[in-house]
Amino acid sequence: MKIAVDAMGSDYAPEQIVLGAIEAAKEYQCDIVLVGDQAQIEKILHKNDTKNLNIAIQHASEVIEMQEHPGAAIRKKKDASVVVATRLVKEGVCDGVISAGSTGAGVAAALFGLGRIKGIERPTIATPMPNISGTTVLLDSGANVDSKPKHLVQSAIMGSIYAEYILGIKNPRIGLLNIGEEETKGNEQVLATYPMLQKLQTINFIGNAEGRDIPKGTVDVVVCDGFVGNVVLKFGEGLAGAIMQLIKESIKNSGLMTKIASLMVLPALKSLKKKIDYAEYGGAPLLGVDGCFIICHGSSKAKAIKNAIRVAIEFNENKVVEHIRENIAKEGILNNDGE
């Protein structure tokens, strides 16, 4: 398995990206192609033990910055690291691409470079979120801020496949994110989507899901448009961080006996921190494009990159693209013009 890594994306590029790639090459025995400024990448590699590791460099002279317009930047900067990395997948040199750069640029690079799976109009970002019993997949978490009902239907099919083949959830429960459980509640978008989801044969649609159902684990996959999904995702990240900070401050400001007692629950707190740490999940796949493209958090460090590479390997090994293609065809919604 050979994975292309956009070494110039993220707030901590290229050092943390390269370090994560090194860790992945060691742990997963995979081939890595680091894409970006060759001089900078070589400098970092020379400082670390890369003996017997299959790590290559593909020079790319340009970088797409976060503030740039994604579509315009992709067309203008043909030698941008994310564009070159995607091209390696399109040409069959690599099996997947990892990028922690601009999400918009990543989506644009994947669309222009890899194209869409037949029957899919818009790709969707599927982000794993921890719940009290395991994981809930949230999609779309930011690829499309405006979605039609048919796009949500396609997301439901893709999310179900990802939950089954990557997370190992048998017959995953699919929920439509709404303001209430009743079928008659919601805006025009979800009211139109609900009956369309009911008709699908390849998913286990259980009805509407409320925001609280995500951390409760009531559903395995929750579907919404990218605007709502990204708000939910960022709120969840912020809340998790705030809770951990409040726990630390509470212990710090407590009496001696409480501090001593806190040592007994320290392992449990560490376990909780690990469970809600996005770095443990690595990255979120961009489902619907004709290839493996994993989008990472902009503040990803080495551990997150290493785990994102693991996700890319699992994505390919479990033939996620092929399963999406099969189920879209089974549902008979190819070239569906429904709203």
Give Cα separations from 259 to 196, 240, 272, 277 (angstroms).
54, 22, 18, 24
For 119-143, the pLDDT digits (tens) are 999 999 999 988 888 899 999 998 8
**What pLDDT shows up at residue 35?**
97
Within a 13 Å sphere around the CA of 328, how many CA atoms are in the beta-carbon half?
A: 25
Same domain, 68 and 24: yes
Same domain, 252 and 303: no
DSSP 54: -
CB 115 within 8 A of CB 274: no
Same domain, 178 and 220: yes
CATH number at residue 311: 3.40.718.10
List, in sequence order, every residue forming a beta bridge with 50; answer none if it has no partner.
none
Q: What are phi and psi of 28, to 5 degrees?
A: -105, 0
Q: How far apart are CA 171 and CA 182, in angstroms?
A: 23
pLDDT band at 144 (very low <50, low <70, confident <90, very high): confident
**What pLDDT shows up at residue 31?**
96
Report yes or no on 295 lying in a domain. Answer: yes
Q: What are phi and psi of 68, to 5 degrees?
A: -75, 150
Domain interval for residue 175: 124-279
**What pLDDT shows up at residue 22?**
96
For 99-121, the pLDDT digits (tens) are 999 999 999 999 999 999 999 99
Same domain, 37 and 130: no
Mean pLDDT is highest, among 1-5, 178-182, 274-278, for: 1-5
Same domain, 131 and 81: no
- Provide the pairing of β-strand 283-287 with 124-125: antiparallel
Same domain, 97 and 200: no
Same domain, 273 and 166: yes
- With the C-alpha atoms ordered 231, 70, 89, 25, is the resulting torsion angle positive or negative? negative
Query: In the predicted model, is pLDDT for residue 273 greater than 70?
Result: no
Mean pLDDT of 178-186: 91
pTM comes to 0.88
pLDDT band at 57 (very low <50, low <70, confident <90, very high): very high
**Which amino acid, residue 314?**
E
**What pLDDT shows up at residue 331?**
87
Question: Helix, strand, or coil here: 328?
Answer: helix
Q: Across all residues in the chain, what is the average pLDDT?
A: 90
pLDDT band at 332 (very low <50, low <70, confident <90, very high): confident
- The number of distinct structural domains making up the chain is 2
**What pLDDT shows up at residue 339?**
46
Please, what's the b/e burial string for 91-113 (b: 16 or more CB within 10 A of its CB; e: otherwise)?
eeebbbbbbbbbbbbbbbbbbbb
Mean pLDDT of 274-286: 76
Report yes or no on 339 lying in a domain. Answer: no
State how far Cα 268 lies from the chain centre. 27
Please name the residues in contact with 246: beta carbons below 8 A apart, sequence gap of 6 or more. none
Mean pLDDT of 285-309: 94
For 60-74, the pLDDT digits (tens) are 999 998 888 888 889
Same domain, 154 and 86: no
Q: How far apart are CA 181 and CA 81, in angstroms?
A: 44
Report yes or no on 325 lying in a domain. Answer: no
Q: How far apart are CA 283 and CA 303, in angstroms?
A: 11
Find, among 18, 52, 20, the residue nearest to 35 by Cα: 18
Q: Which residue has the higher pLDDT, 84 or 282?
A: 84
Give Cα separations from 50 to 13, 74, 308 (angstroms).
19, 32, 19
To the nearest whole percent, how much of the chain has pLDDT over 90? 68
For 229-265, the pLDDT digits (tens) are 999 988 888 887 887 788 778 777 787 777 677 676 6
Identify the helix (H) or strand (E) that includes residue 133.
none
Same domain, 91 and 13: yes
Mean pLDDT of 27-43: 96
DSSP 62: B
Mean pLDDT of 148-167: 94
Same domain, 38 and 52: yes
Dmax over Cα atoms in the chain, in whole Å? Answer: 67
pLDDT band at 276 (very low <50, low <70, confident <90, very high): low
Report yes or no on 85 lying in a domain. Answer: yes
Find, among 293, 303, 246, 253, the residue nearest to 269 by Cα: 246
Same domain, 155 and 249: yes
Same domain, 6 and 54: yes
Least confident of 69-73, 283-287, 294-298: 69-73
**What pLDDT shows up at residue 250?**
79
pLDDT band at 337 (very low <50, low <70, confident <90, very high): very low
